[in-house]
A and B are shown apart, each in its own frame.
Chain A
Amino acid sequence: MADRGHDHVHASPVDEDSPHSYHQTLEVAVRELLIEKGVIDADEVRAAVEEMDARTPARGARVVARAWTDPDFRARLLADAPAACRELDIDVSPAQLTVTENTEDVHNVIVCTLCSCYPRPLLGLPPSWYKSASYRSRAVREPRAVLQEFGLDLPETVAVRVHDSTADLRYIVLPQRPEGTDTFSEDDLAALVTRDCLIGVAVPRVTRTVAEPASP
């Protein structure tokens, strides 16, 4: 093997500064080999990271806001989420996206007990708590306690429906449109839909702006 003069290990700009774990080291080694052998190039890696970072929960919020304002779109979204997202120029492939709708009687929560399957095309990278052993085990075993710790206290009259993303489907929650939003534009509505609402550990709320007292 040719000596490339690498007498020291230097971090690539796409790597984190912190010391690498076993699996990060493995990923770096495989990536460097693939680049060295010409299978992929560094620009492709950079572009893939850029594309991943460009996905944010704002995409999911756009889909929800459209569903709230257009009942026909909502019906299409529930029937075939990937096709409905394509109408908004959002490509959710290869995820088999499935939308679970909250109602007066049902609240949905998403988890992946086996690893960290997450609707990345619509929400971007999962928060670290979504990947924690605590969330993954407790969300299925005691979902109401977990929701309470997130500040969501649901009455017994609302059924909690947990969805474990064990195989090929990915889920987002379609929350209920909050009261008092009749005059909201689609963009205003989208701003109410946070990442956690789309995972199902929170519900959208209209934050009331408290009027500033008039200055004397």
Chain B
Amino acid sequence: MPRFATGDRVRVRAAHPPGHVRTPYYIRGRTGIVERICREFGNPEELAFGRHDAPKVMLYRVRFSQSDVWSDYKGASDDTIDVEIYEHWLEEVANG
């Protein structure tokens, strides 16, 4: 079961573990909205070490406002960036 639903506000963990991580640095710690739930995929952090029987993880596409990602962003306020992020990299954000 996906932990998050489309439209949920989520924050990317500001963590820096070693290994084969597919969460770009520039998006860590940023808050966005779940654009869609993709499906479960093998966890690249496990696959990179040959652990093919590791549990699969849910993948989401999260949409961020560019002006939330870059403080000096030059462009329209509607400009966005969509990034695919695995569930264990996402945290709930209290609404309000």
A residues at B contact (CB < 8 Å) = 96, 113-114, 140-145, 156-169
Whether a CB of chain A sits under 8 angstroms from the CB of B91 is no
CB <8 Å contact, A160 and B23? no
What are 30 A-B residue pairs whose CB atoms fall within 8 Å in the complex? A113-B26, A140-B81, A141-B70, A142-B74, A142-B75, A144-B75, A144-B79, A159-B78, A160-B66, A160-B75, A160-B79, A160-B80, A161-B80, A161-B82, A162-B66, A162-B79, A162-B81, A164-B24, A164-B81, A164-B84, A165-B84, A166-B24, A166-B83, A167-B59, A167-B85, A167-B86, A168-B41, A169-B38, A169-B59, A169-B61
- Pick from B75, B76, B81, B84: contact of A167, CB below 8 A: B84
CB <8 Å contact, A168 and B38? yes
B residues at A contact (CB < 8 Å) = 22-24, 26-27, 38, 41, 44, 59, 61, 66, 69-70, 73-76, 78-86
CB <8 Å contact, A143 and B83? no
CB distance from B96 to the nearest CB of A (A): 26
CB distance from A43 to the nearest CB of B (A): 28
Query: In the assembly, what is the distance between CA of A143 and CA of B76, in Å?
Result: 11
